[in-house]
Chain A
Amino acid sequence: MSNLQLTDDQREALQEVTNIGMGQAGAALAALLDTFVTLSVPRIQLVQVAELGKSLRAMVRDAQDVTAVRQSFQSDISGEAIVIYGPEGCKELWDLMGYEPSDEPPGTSTERELLFDVANVLVGACVCSVFELLGRSLSFSRPTLIGEKVPLDYLLQQETLPWGMALLVEVNFSLENRQFTAHLVTLMAEDSIEQMKAALDHFVANL
């Protein structure tokens, strides 16, 4: 296996790029949702896929069942972003996402649409701003549902991931005055990790 480990410089650069990106994402989300958005300091880990389950469990501490949406992004660096909600999803954000009171009570399909809308916004804000700093403009595929109210282990069980390593970027969101939290995980395959390292080197060289 090629050496996928990040050098200290690369790791530092990634942390910095991610921090700046998330700062911008937080501001953009606050503007869009018209409420204060708290983002955790992003945690970056390069993990073996076999260890991924353990890392996810450590991240989503107390939630037994989760609802999760995935979305893939493409450029020369491609990957997949997964938004993990609590079992109740994101009903709290109903009005913030522009749904009318008359749309209520949420039917299954509108509730799903909301799950996708919110995931799309969170993924877009975070992943786009990070990659913009790395000089990439991304394309996105439409979000799909991984599972609704399923045990956390189910998220990865379903997937037979075709690669051995994953770059895990973890951010947690919460909103002011709302019972809402979500976790964002970004996964990248090995060849994208190589590209990412090159992009980080380039970023460092141009500081």
Chain B
Amino acid sequence: MSTQVENRFSEFIVDRVGFGIFAVTRDMQLVLWNRFMQQHSGKKAEEIIGKNLFDCFPELPRKWLQKKFEGVFLLKNFSFISWEQRPYLFQFKHDRPVTGGVDWMQQNCTFMPMINAANEVEMVCVTIADVTDISIIQRQLQSALVALGESANRDGLTGIYNRRHLEERLAQEFSRCKRYGGGFSLLMFDLDHFKRVNDQYGHLGGDAVLRAAAARVTNVIRTADIFGRYGGEEFALILPETDLAAATIVGEKVRKAIGETPIEFDGQKLTATTSVGITTMRSDLPAYEALIHEADTALYRAKGLGRNCVVVAGSDIEPLKIS
């Protein structure tokens, strides 16, 4: 290929390629401004060639960008800007007006030294790739991963935490307290005669009761408390930094929240009550499973004592209240 043809090709490609391409001299004078740059900046090449880059675009982060150029001139080295750290260099509109969700065209920039015969960097050429599409997909992927991680921890019916997450958090709290001291309490509670609700109102009725119970308890606990469905009609509530006395008060709140007012389902009023077992962290316990066992045992004692009451593990005290 003759040099002339080659030059025509190069010019054609620089002009028409789907990248922004521009070049500056050591004193930041623009010497190249391709069609992509013209279209997106609204500044024609003939308007700005020969002018200082920062005079033409005063909004550029001057000090930092100048250092970047200086690095390329001094070190004869490539340099880069990535949208992941700095979404854009030039404020260009992107061509995804509807489904965008990002404000300006996201850009990846590459700075390349153009070395002359005397082995000096004469100019720095910068290419700008429009990576808006990639960035949108990446962001969607990120938020999908977050949502996925969150939904993996949730119970599908009630929206509160599931058993897997409860056990995970319980194990964490347990080892944290073992290592650093501090305490927490555990409540396990179970809806009374839930089978009857299912039999009488069908599974939809049962589901409505479970959802209502979960929502009511959520309303009376603190944000730091960890509340979830342990299985079937059984729930668990982890109360960080809470001693047995305070946990007993919470147990009573939970009992009342569920049982005091009837739950509406299909125009009917259903009354659901709950039996609550409570235990608290002690450093002599071998594993967190011991806590589940203790709370569960207390819960079954509450059932034995006539249901709709709160029982503390290991104590012989009477159930707190039977309404």
Contact = CB atoms under 8 A, between A and B. Distances in A.
B115 A32 contact: no
Interface of B: 61, 63-68, 70-71, 74-82, 84-86, 108, 110, 115, 119
Given A28-B75, A132-B76, A142-B110, 7 more contacts: A97-B67, A98-B66, A100-B63, A109-B84, A121-B77, A124-B78, A128-B75
Given A110-B85, A113-B86, A142 B108 contact: yes
B85 A112 contact: yes
Contacts, number: 73
Contacts of A125: 75, 77
A99 interface: yes
B78 A140 contact: yes
B279 to A, nearest CB: 38
A139 B127 CA distance: 14
B63 A98 contact: yes
Nearest to B66: A98
A143 B63 CA distance: 22
Contacts of B67: 32, 97-98
Given A120-B79, A140-B78, A109 B86 contact: yes
A120 B80 contact: yes
Contact of A124 (B77, B81, B85): B77
Nearest to B112: A139
A125 to B, nearest CB: 5
Contacts of B82: 113, 116, 142
Interface string A119-156: 01101110010001000010110110000000000000
A116 B77 contact: no
A50 interface: no
A110 B85 CA distance: 6
Contacts of A100: 61, 63-64
Contacts of A132: 76, 119
A112 B86 CA distance: 10
B74 A28 contact: yes
A104 interface: no
A192 B115 CA distance: 25
A32 B71 contact: yes
A104 B86 CA distance: 15
Interface residues on A, range: 20 to 34
A109 B75 contact: no
B115 A137 contact: yes
A4 interface: no
A166 B68 CA distance: 31
A39 B166 CA distance: 53
Contacts of B108: 142
Given A31-B74, A117-B68, A124 B79 contact: yes
A1 B106 CA distance: 47
6 contacts: A98-B65, A109-B85, A117-B68, A121-B75, A121-B79, A142-B82
B81 to A, nearest CB: 8
Contacts of B71: 32, 120-121, 124
Contacts of B85: 109-110, 112-113, 116
A143 B80 contact: yes
Nearest to B70: A32
Nearest to A121: B71
A97 B77 contact: no
B134 to A, nearest CB: 13
A170 B1 CA distance: 44
B29 to A, nearest CB: 20
Contacts of A28: 74-75
A116 B64 contact: no
Nearest to A132: B76
Nearest to A107: B85
B73 to A, nearest CB: 9
